[in-house]
């Protein structure tokens, strides 16, 4: 992505503070029921891949609202953000805005908030709050440039001599929080993360937690005995293993199927093991997300004990489904990270009585009630530049009401991921978003009507 020529960055100051609080988010009313596009269910699944008919579409009557205004939209470099980003893009297009392809501006969270503060992007729909709160307190320092007046003579052709910009002595500090607004929650409570285990084991062991597994010798040995990997790559830190005989990792330590080695969640899991005093009881196995999910699904299907990290929204949550074949594996409240090691990773919230607040998950999906997952549950939210929102009230009104059920996102991501795995298959993100919009036309028209009313 090309940086703006208006400003030249000198330095980004202010460390990311873990205890920051997000600004109040607007309340979004619960939408009518929605229908998800069909996800691939196996070799016998039948999927309609036909494109919507050309010509006048259902949303064309709104097309004059945006007036052809250009919108620079980014999306997360995490592929789980692709679907709802594309739905939002297509809805803005139906209002007549000319929106960049978010695939062309894929950014990490830190880079996005930096770019938004500099005015280089207008919005994204991949914010995760409260996890992204620390980025809001970052301060961007600019050194503006000016073109000085020149006393130099005119050039030989009579034209003025071009003067180069010169830096001024004044610095401009911009706090990211002051430049953006949290517009709405596109997937309320959709940013869920934690460990899952076999549903059958939790049924036989009511109140099961990670701490309880460590304390129960028989149960601990049962999990440890299942540490045989079908994919040898999971037994190698560098992922260089080759297909062959399964790798037996039974060694008195339970292997948690975690995250890619370079992912933030991998570091958090390692810190959690250290904080809770689980060294020598649990250790994390790194690997590709798809390989880890496949290994977890294999063990569940074979009725072999497994503990795996699961994060939503994701394609994996279409197969590893809490409340069905797996259950969220709760933790004792005192084992949840409190920020004493890494301040930014505090995963605790207390109520007015000083009691630790559990995660807002369905009790029927967790091994214990109340359920502490070890990670704060995040709203997947839309954040946009204040300048953009003020100039385009119709877009602001639309962004405030878009809300997609997490189950629909999981189903779409599973279908998109399946297409990615097919050699030479086109990216189906755009088609899946269009199908979802068409399947939920009545609801979508309510959103677009609200945008028109605000224009």
Q: Is 71 a member of any domain?
A: yes
Do 202 and 178 lie in a common domain?
no
Do 13 and 124 lie in a common domain?
yes
Query: Which one of 330, 358, 376 terminates a domain?
Result: 376
Do 181 and 41 lie in a common domain?
yes
Domain with 362 in it: what CATH number? 3.40.190.100
Domain with 142 in it: what CATH number? 3.40.190.10
Q: Is 304 a member of any domain?
A: yes
DSSP code at position 231: S
Do 11 and 46 lie in a common domain?
yes
Q: Which of 316, 321, 254, 319 is nearest to 289 (CA)?
A: 316
Contacts of 55 (CB under 8 A, 6+ apart): none
Q: Is 90 a member of any domain?
A: yes
Do 184 and 241 lie in a common domain?
no
Give CA–CA dist 355/236, Å, rounded: 41
Q: Are strands 228-229 and 247-248 parallel, antiparallel or unpaired?
A: antiparallel
Predicted structure pTM score: 0.76
Task: Give pLDDT, residue 62.
Answer: 84
Q: Tokens representing 255? A: 């292997």
Q: Is 1 a member of any domain?
A: no
Q: Is 2 a member of any domain?
A: no
Do 258 and 349 lie in a common domain?
yes
**Centroid of chain to Cα 441:** 25
Question: 73: domain range?
Answer: 7-149+157-190+380-454
Do 214 and 227 lie in a common domain?
yes
Give CA–CA dist 455/269, Å, rounded: 47
DSSP code at position 320: S
Do 255 and 392 lie in a common domain?
no
Q: Is 323 a member of any domain?
A: yes
**How many domains, in total, are found in the chain?**
2
Q: Is 414 a member of any domain?
A: yes
Q: Is 127 a member of any domain?
A: yes
Query: Which one of 376, 409, 443 terminates a domain?
Result: 376
Strand partners, 448: none
Secondary element (H or E) of residue 217: helix 217-225
Do 264 and 346 lie in a common domain?
yes
Ordered DSSP codes for 62-121 = GTTSSTT-EE-B-EESSGGGHHHHHHHHHHHHHTT-EE--GGGSEE-HHHHHHHHHTTS-
Cα dihedral 232→238→242→245 (10° resolution)? -20
Query: Which one of 319, 345, 376 terminates a domain?
Result: 376
Do 312 and 416 lie in a common domain?
no
Do 366 and 408 lie in a common domain?
no
pLDDT digit of tens for each residue in the chain (455 aa)?
444 433 333 333 333 333 333 333 333 333 344 555 544 433 333 333 333 333 345 556 788 899 999 999 999 988 889 999 999 999 999 999 999 999 999 999 999 999 999 999 999 999 999 889 888 988 887 766 555 555 545 545 544 444 455 555 567 788 899 999 999 899 999 999 999 999 999 999 999 999 999 999 999 999 999 987 766 556 554 444 444 455 566 689 999 999 999 888 999 999 999 999 999 999 999 998 888 999 999 999 999 999 999 999 998 999 999 999 999 999 999 999 999 999 989 999 999 998 999 999 999 999 999 999 999 999 999 999 999 999 999 999 999 999 999 999 999 998 887 766 555 567 889 999 999 999 999 999 999 999 999 99
Do 309 and 390 lie in a common domain?
no
**Centroid of chain to Cα 152:** 55
């Amino acid at each position: 992505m090309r940086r703006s020529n208006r400003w030249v960055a000198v330095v980004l100051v202010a460390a990311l503070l873990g205890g920051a609080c997000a600004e109040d988010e607007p309340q979004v009313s619960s939408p009518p029921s929605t229908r998800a596009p069909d996800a691939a269910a196996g070799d016998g699944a039948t999927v309609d891949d036909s494109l919507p008919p050309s010509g006048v579409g259902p949303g064309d009557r709104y097309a004059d609202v945006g007036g052809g205004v250009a919108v620079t939209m980014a999306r997360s470099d995490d592929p789980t953000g692709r679907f709802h980003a594309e739905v939002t893009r297509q809805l803005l297009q139906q209002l007549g805005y000319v929106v960049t392809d978010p695939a062309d501006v894929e950014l990490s969270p830190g880079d996005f908030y930096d770019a938004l503060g500099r005015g280089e992007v207008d919005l994204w729909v991949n914010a995760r709050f409260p996890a992204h709160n620390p980025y809001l307190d970052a301060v961007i320092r600019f050194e503006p440039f000016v073109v000085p007046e020149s006393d130099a003579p005119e050039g030989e052709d009579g034209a003025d001599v071009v003067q180069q910009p010169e830096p001024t002595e004044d610095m401009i500090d911009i706090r990211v929080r002051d430049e953006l607004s949290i517009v709405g929650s596109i997937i309320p409570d959709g940013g869920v993360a934690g460990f899952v285990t076999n549903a059958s084991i939790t049924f036989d062991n009511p109140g099961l937690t990670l701490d309880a597994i460590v304390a129960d010798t028989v149960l601990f040995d049962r999990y440890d005995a299942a540490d045989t990997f079908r994919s040898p790559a999971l037994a190698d830190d560098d992922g260089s293993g080759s297909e062959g005989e399964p790798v037996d990792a039974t060694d008195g330590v339970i292997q948690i199927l975690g995250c890619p080695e370079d992912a933030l969640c991998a570091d958090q899991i390692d810190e959690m093991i250290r904080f809770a005093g689980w060294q020598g009881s649990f250790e994390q196995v790194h690997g590709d997300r798809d390989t880890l999910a496949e290994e977890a699904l294999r063990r569940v299907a074979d009725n072999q004990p497994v503990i795996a990290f699961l994060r939503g929204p994701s394609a994996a949550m279409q197969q590893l489904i809490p409340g069905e074949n797996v259950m969220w594996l709760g933790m004792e409240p005192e084992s949840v990270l409190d920020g004493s090691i890494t301040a930014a990773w505090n995963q605790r919230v207390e109520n007015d009585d000083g009691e630790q607040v559990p995660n807002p998950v369905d009790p029927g999906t967790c091994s214990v009630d109340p359920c502490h997952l070890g990670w704060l549950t995040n709203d997947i939210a839309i954040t946009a530049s204040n300048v953009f929102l003020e100039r385009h009230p119709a877009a602001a009104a639309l962004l405030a009401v878009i809300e997609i059920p997490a189950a629909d996102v999981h189903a779409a991501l599973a279908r998109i991921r399946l297409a990615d795995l097919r050699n030479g298959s086109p990216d189906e993100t755009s088609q899946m978003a269009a199908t979802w919009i068409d399947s939920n036309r009545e609801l979508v028209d309510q959103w677009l009507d609200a945008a028109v009313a605000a224009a």
